[in-house]
Structure 1
Amino acid sequence: MKHQQLNQRKNAATPRGVGVMCNWFVNRAENATLWDEEGNSWIDFAAGIAVLNTGHRHPKIVAAVEKQLQAFTHTAYQVVPYESYVALAERINDLAPIEGPAKTTFFTTGAEAVENAVKIARAHTGRSGVITFTAAFHGRTLMTMAMTGKVAPYKRDFGPMPASVFHARYPSEQHGVSVDEAMASIDQLFSCDIAPEQVAAIVLEPIQGEGGFRPAPTEFMTRLRALCDQHGILMIADEVQSGFARTGKLFAMEHHPQVKADLITMAKSLAGGLPLSGVCGRAEVMDAPAPGGLGGTYAGHPLAIASAHAVLDVIQEEKLCERAEHLGQHLREVLHLAKARNPAIADIRGVGSMIAVEFCDPQSGAPEKALCAAIQQRAMEAGLLLLTCGQHGNVIRFLYPLTIPDAQFQQAMEILSHVLTAE
């Protein structure tokens, strides 16, 4: 009854454009567990859409934020700076897979980070063009919406889009797009839409998030880097969803050690639940905008900065990169056993604990969006919260906190096995 009343209030007070998945309201959370207003609990395999690699309310993060609360909560860094911002930039500069000296600046949301990376690239190159990829997701602001490679629900009704944004094909073995075809699609853009000398940056997710957890092959990354070097184009790696131990590395770009991005965007699990994003890149590129060209009232908020310091400590101390590999291997085993019993499971893919399962009709190969939604609903009814993704909504992604206790993870695997193979 309480949820029914809250939903009535929600529908009356907030617009329908904010799509809400659950019809229940959270009351409290701890590590990998959510409790609603009526005392029911769920194992959280959504983690606020990849924000909580370190779990809900990690004690070290809570302590760091509480300590900062006792000092000051806001000055606006570009008015009165604080050491913790500088220290976090130094840590990120040391950790991010950037070639040579690096610099980092902080913002509030992932979309802000991506927009500012484009600004930095344009300032450095003096060019305007941006190339992104099909199925990409870069945000919901006007510029990042144009960069996103999916119309519904992100771009529908919101045109016209900003100019000088073009989409190439993202390689995907499951969807029949080879590395050669993906590279050829960029060549076609150069022939038909924009000269390479006008392109400031090529922006890609090393593992697509909303697009269905599709990892970029190393061959593609290598050839893309060579193409960028050939034409003086910057490579921007959007690691908003893939960063901070989810893939078994601090950054997904580390899975391609011979390939270095010029700029890396980050957000989500950077600050363990507090809003913080950043752009890290080659120092000479990062210094291109003039003073005042970057920033924001809440950019690099001190509470979020304190939380991010604690996140980096936890990832290191609790060996969360190694744990991502361990948990991901267990999940893969469960999914492959389910695949033997469910012919609609068309693909199991991902890296570390950034894993997804795709559902297609076994006869026609058509996307099985309805089946995917039904499995998600069965899981929720059984106490497991899952998220879908993919261009056709037929992919389930797994975003559990990497701090989840072993016993609870095993409980989730049992629920998952049941809902994937239930008749």
Structure 2
Amino acid sequence: MASSRFELLCIVLLGVGQMCIMTGYDTQSFILESVIHSVNERYPGLISKYAGYYGQAVCWGTYMIATIFTPSLLNYLSPKMTLFLGSLCYTLFQIGFFFLNSYYYYITSALMGVGMLLGGGILALVFALTSASGSNHGIYLNDTLNFNSTIPFTEEKERSFSDKEILLMYAAFAAVTIFANITFLVMPSKEVDNCIEGRNKNKTTFIEQMHRMYSAFSSRKTMLLSAVFVNLGLWTSFWLSVYPTTLTFNINLSEKIYLPAIYSVGVGTGEIIMGFFIASMSKRKKDFGLQPTMTIGCSLACLTILLITVSTPVDSPMRPTAQLPLLFQPNRIIVFLIALMIGLADSALNNVRTVICAIVMPDRRAQTFSISKFYQALGGSVLLFLSSKMTIYHYTCILLVSSILATVTFFHVAKKTQKMERKFTVEQLNRNRVPL
């Protein structure tokens, strides 16, 4: 009983810490490019106007490299220390916006390579406070951060983030991630029965671990599944960074200051609903987490992409624009609906990735999951590096083709894996059958 309480405590603390990390990072990703663009408009020499995209591309790129060595390093670092050091990198990134400059920004973006509902609340509170005080357009960074700006400050037509908003938002995000740091640091640590990665587990050398990683990389199944993982990276970087940027770059929506908060709440709501739905259906239908969930996730993703395409100005991912969308302007209801569909699709696609990684190579689960993250980071990094040159139509074509290819390859691998599992089960039954 005491062991069960200890395990429950660890689960709760891990969940709270992870929620805080994702609240800080994911929520700020919604507005990062717009924030950087706002700073660049006032202080052109301080940082590139596309640094929001490029910084996240750097983050994805270093994350891609880190996934190769992660299973091996976990052999030497305790899970508790790994969690603490990882969360500390997120905190360093958030703190950098108190003295924003290119060097610190890109370095901490690289370090980050090694819970949304709460995030939406943070954004809404900051926007309410700053709009109530009339401070949306008027505080200089050099007033609070001692920057030397010679650029005259002029009011812009698109939704622009004032220096006070930036400071308040990233102070809140930093506070949330600091809470995660403390949570991971004070987590209890002791051996429990049947622990998968306990201290008593036989340790292998770094070379042996890298050989296991290589064998998993060269497997035909993981090669085929790379299309699924790359698609997940393309999809994630799009909804996390590109689409929310179009909402703030659309000059026609400049008065709707709560759209990023509404978007955050919608995504979080969708993630929760789909999580409960998959859990419920998996109890009733065998293998629901495979082909059925993949069909639901990719179908929702494709429908969402098409809805975004007809309601988003074509060049709004790249720059502030007054251009009209193909069919209609997004309002609060449409943005929430799109965000809800994104959350539903993202939860389904991530669930599929987790399930297939667990069963496709049972003796290489840690390596297979790291490989999935490698390809995901590769897709996300490439997309974000190209984002300053791409219109909404480019994203539509890339994501639709990628989703279809991912579905086809996933079904192929899933069917072969299920066939092998059934064959293994029959062999086991025949082996255990008692002769008459």
Q: TM-score, normalising length from structure 2?
A: 0.26
Higher Rg of the two aligned structures? 2
